[in-house]
């Protein structure tokens, strides 16, 4: 008669089965290979958004016929938000667009004489202060009225 062949499969321990399930669920959810926060992903966000904000400052410089540099105070955003998940460069651009508006309305000489740098950071409310050639701009989590706040402030200050 024919012989019966028995195939023995290794029996996985309960811990190994659980680990496999956790990995599979994480993989299907897209988190199995996610980068931890505060690491390479955050550094990429900082690099890309800093570059974008600097490019916007160059455009503002052209509009106002002057040289304005711009930087993002990343530590304040990390302290407020934890992970860097927003488009902070867009939020910060509210300050630059307000400066451009002031220049287009004819105050480009005042801008050239008084604003050399824009420094953007996180704040509880949208607020601008001009000190020693630097426009310090605090942007809240709700930047909707930020442009108008900066515009109104600069219109009175310049």
For the chain, the domains span 40-157
pLDDT digits (tens, 9 = 90+) for 68-112: 999 999 999 999 998 888 899 999 999 999 999 999 999 999 999
pLDDT digits (tens, 9 = 90+) for 143-158: 889 999 999 999 999 9
Query: What is the gyration radius of the CA atoms in the chain, in angstroms?
Result: 26
Report CA dihedral (113, 49, 89, 72) to the nearest 10 degrees: -50
Cα gap 121→143, rounded to integer Å? 12
Enter the pTM of the model. Answer: 0.75
**How many angstroms separate the Cα of 86 from the Cα of each of 104, 126, 147, 158?**
29, 16, 17, 31
Give the helix ranges, DSSP H, for the chain: 14-29, 40-64, 74-81, 88-102, 108-114, 146-157
């Amino acid at each position: 008669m024919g012989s019966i062949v028995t195939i023995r499969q290794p029996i996985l321990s309960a811990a190994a089965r659980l680990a496999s399930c956790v990995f599979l669920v994480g993989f299907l959810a897209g988190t199995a290979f996610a980068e931890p926060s505060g690491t390479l992903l955050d550094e990429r966000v900082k690099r890309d958004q800093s570059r974008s904000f600097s490019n916007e400052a160059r455009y503002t410089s052209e509009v106002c016929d002057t040289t304005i540099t711009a930087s993002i105070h990343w530590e304040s955003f990390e302290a407020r938000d934890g992970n860097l998940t927003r488009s902070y460069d867009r939020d910060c651009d509210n300050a630059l667009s307000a400066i451009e508006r002031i220049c287009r309305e004819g105050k480009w000489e005042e801008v050239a004489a008084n604003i050399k740098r824009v420094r953007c950071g996180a704040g509880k409310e949208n607020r601008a202060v001009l000190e020693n050639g630097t426009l310090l701009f605090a942007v809240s989590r709700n930047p909707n009225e930020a442009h108008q706040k900066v515009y109104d402030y600069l219109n009175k200050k310049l």
